[in-house]
Copies of this chain bind each other. A is one copy, B any other.
Amino acid sequence: MRTTSVAEGPQVDSQTTITTTMKALVYHGPGRRSWEDKPRPRIQEATDAIVEITTSTICGTDLHILKGDVPEVTAGRILGHEGVGSVRETGTGVFGFRPGDRVLISCITSCGKCDHCRKGMYSHCRAGGWVLGHTIDGTQAEFVRIPQADSSLHHLPEDADEDAMVLLSDIFPTAFECGVVNGQVQPGDDVAIVGAGPIGLAAVLTAGFFSPGRIIVVDRDLNRLEVAQSLGATHVVNAAGHPADEILAITGGEGVDVAIEAVGVPESFDLCQAVVAVGGHIANVGVHGRPVSLRLERLWSHNITLTTRLVDTVSTPLLLNMVASRRLDPTKLATHRFRMSEAMKAYDTLADAARERALKVILKKG
């Protein structure tokens, strides 16, 4: 972190050309999106920064928004909560960043000062949380306004690979914090990861930090199971079969120490409760749209721990370190790359992920 210095007023990058519009991917209600002109964002609060996006990506959550599943997102909203870019302008209350700085944008905006932030629960920041591409305009655009910039951006090294970094905005901290850390993966543990989408696969990679025993990945998509194996899964299980029976067989009837739910539907949660060992952990990562049935008539006596979590991005500095030291390679999940102006096509690709064998779709400036 840079040491704090007095900013004598808003700072603007000298290279910034004076334009008032930009291009952005805009939500227009369920099923409707377009790549269109929008006003360029401006500093609204002293703690804001304006970032020019150089790399962004599309999240499964963006597809949920497009289906109308996230009612807080209103028509006219620019989508996207992941991004890498260059700071172009900073408010008078931003001290850690200056125009020209290369930054990773955290999907979670945090003030760093409220009671929740003080406890490391940035996801529930009293003045932030998940707001980008949700309650304020997001990162699938040429520029984005980042509130609470000092505690919501991360400096990037000059030689950082943006395609790797942009995956640290959301999916890697999500998989690691909500899945691996909350699941308390320990050396030798048997771990089941239900769902081999980008989050589940990021959980395979980051669970490896703790040298677990078996890593059993469950999905219906055989291509994704193959990818899981290439990333370190020791066993893969087809969700279309009898996954609970298979997992119990693999673990000698004991079940797994950690079950990571990375889908967000009742069936995948059910599988987790069916296979968790006594004394084990269920770490929910999936975004659920309805209640699930919790089998307390069986589990009340099984000494289990079940956790939920919206990613706090407290682990982002660690993950940056792990990438820098080459102990983690997020780019393994980046299957497709598009110009940002092709964002509409990128969405089509992700919407047809199985056929396209798409995991993360990277959007590059231009």
Does A294 count as interface, using CB distance less than 8 angstroms? yes
A114 at the interface (CB under 8 A from B): yes
Q: Roughly how many angstroms separate A112 CA and B117 CA in the complex, as a whole number?
A: 10
Dominant SS at the A interface?
loop
Copies of this chain in its oligomeric complex? 4
- Binary B-proximity of A285-318 (CB < 8 A = 1, otherwise 0): 0111111111111011111111111101010011
In the complex, the 8 A-B pairs of residues with the closest C-beta atoms, listed nearest first: A301-B310, A288-B296, A294-B294, A209-B211, A306-B306, A187-B209, A291-B293, A93-B93
* A309 CB contacts on chain B under 8 angstroms: 301, 303
A126 close to B (CB within 8 Å): yes
* Pairs A–B under 8 Å by Cβ, sample size 17: A4-B47, A4-B111, A6-B45, A46-B92, A47-B95, A120-B120, A123-B303, A188-B321, A264-B300, A269-B296, A291-B296, A292-B294, A292-B296, A303-B307, A303-B308, A303-B312, A305-B305
Asked whether A18 is an interface residue with its Cβ less than 8 Å from the other chain, the reply is: no
Q: Which of B150, B213, B291 is within 8 Å of A297, CB to CB?
A: B291
Q: Mark A108-145, 1 if CB is under 8 A from B, else 0.
A: 00011111101111011011000000000000000000
CA distance A126 to B325 in the complex (A): 24
Complex: chain B residue closest to A4, CB-CB: B127
